[in-house]
Amino acid sequence: MPDLPRILGQRPRKQSIGGSVTLRDHSRSYRRLCASLLDAEPLCRYCWAEGRISPATLIDHIVALSLGGSNDRSNLAPACADCNAAKGRVEQRFVSRGYDVADVMRDPELAGWTKKAGT
Ligand SMILES: [Zn+2]
């Protein structure tokens, strides 16, 4: 029998950009949600916030799964690969060294990305 309280208190383990397999949702309903978001909003939300027009090619988690974000529609933003990668590099700083939620919330660079996502 596993030590449940300890398991429940664990943060996501260190991982590479893009989150761990266990945190990702590969369900049909999630894929459908992503497709509908891209249909409804085909431009990168982050580029749009800076006055650029770029096609969205993927769905970004506004708050990364690896930092406690969810697959809820409100946490998803259509994005281009460049923005997703740039944001991922910022997030990776927290994931790779371990993190404190308060540090994440105060980080000005991540706050800038969140603001551009319109949340
Ligand atoms: Zn972009």
* Distance (Å) of CA 84 to CA 3, 17, 50, 100: 36, 10, 15, 22
Examine residue 14 and state whether it is found in any structural domain, yes or no.
no
Q: Are 102 and 109 in contact (CB under 8 A)?
A: no
The fraction of the chain above a pLDDT of 70, given in percent, is 80
- Ligand 1 centre distance from Cα of residue 86 (Å): 9
Give the Cβ contact number of residue 103 at 10 Å. Answer: 13
Examine residue 38 and state whether it is found in any structural domain, yes or no.
yes
Mean pLDDT of 59-86: 94
Least confident window among 19-33, 81-95, 103-117: 19-33
Q: pTM score, two decimals?
A: 0.75
Range of the domain at 79: 20-116
Mean pLDDT of 82-108: 85
Examine residue 27 and state whether it is found in any structural domain, yes or no.
yes
The pLDDT of residue 106 = 83
Examine residue 7 and state whether it is found in any structural domain, yes or no.
no
Domain count, the chain: 1
Examine residue 58 and state whether it is found in any structural domain, yes or no.
yes
Examine residue 49 and state whether it is found in any structural domain, yes or no.
yes
Examine residue 74 and state whether it is found in any structural domain, yes or no.
yes
Examine residue 45 and state whether it is found in any structural domain, yes or no.
yes
- Ligand 1 centre distance from Cα of residue 91 (Å): 16
- Ligand 1 centre distance from Cα of residue 51 (Å): 10
- Ligand 1 centre distance from Cα of residue 22 (Å): 26
Residue with the bigger pLDDT between 103 and 34: it is: 34
CATH number at residue 59: 1.10.30
Residues, CB within 5 angstroms of ligand 1 (ion) = 44, 46-47, 54, 80, 83
